[in-house]
Amino acid sequence: MTTQVTEFVQKVVDAMGLKLTATAEELPDGLRVHLEGEDGVVLTRRQGEALQALQHIASSAFRSDGPDRRRLVIDCENFRKDKDAELRQMALYMAGKAKSSGASQEMGPLNPYERRIVHLAVSEVAGVSSESVGDAFEKTVIISVG
């Protein structure tokens, strides 16, 4: 599947007329496709909306409805990696703040990909927990003591 997904992503950016090259990296629970090249900004501008769109389409095309469903992440010029690291730092900071003050902290609205990063970071901090609230696609994450 790795080769198929990477080839698909390459075909899409080629068809968009972008000078970008896709390479695959295996993750413990899925696959990360890296895009590098001079046209990276076309995908990363406006908070990476085109990158997000490409990831949605690729996930949708290669969906596996099973228990062993693998995650698919598409990154461009380390845009996600940097943003993810920032979000993780923020989540750890908020978790610390909740713990020291006793008051619940809010983050968001965040999309599912971002919420996962926050929940994982909070789970590393003892004595605090996190939950998503809201009915929309993007939800707020509440970090509280207990």
Q: Which residues bind other proteins (CB under 8 A)?
A: 8, 11-12, 15-18, 39, 42-43, 49-50, 52-54, 56-57, 60-62, 137
Instruction: Please give the C-alpha separations between residue 28 and each of 22, 59, 76, in angstroms, as whole numbers.
Output: 19, 17, 20
Q: Residue 53 Cβ, how far from other proteins at the closest point, in Å?
A: 4
The CA-based diameter of the chain, rounded to the nearest angstrom, is 52
10 vs 104, beta carbon nearer other proteins: 10
Phi/psi at 103 (nearest 5 deg)? -95, 140
54 vs 87, beta carbon nearer other proteins: 54
17 vs 146, beta carbon nearer other proteins: 17
Q: Residue 15 Cβ, how far from other proteins at the closest point, in Å?
A: 4
Q: Residue 79 Cβ, how far from other proteins at the closest point, in Å?
A: 14
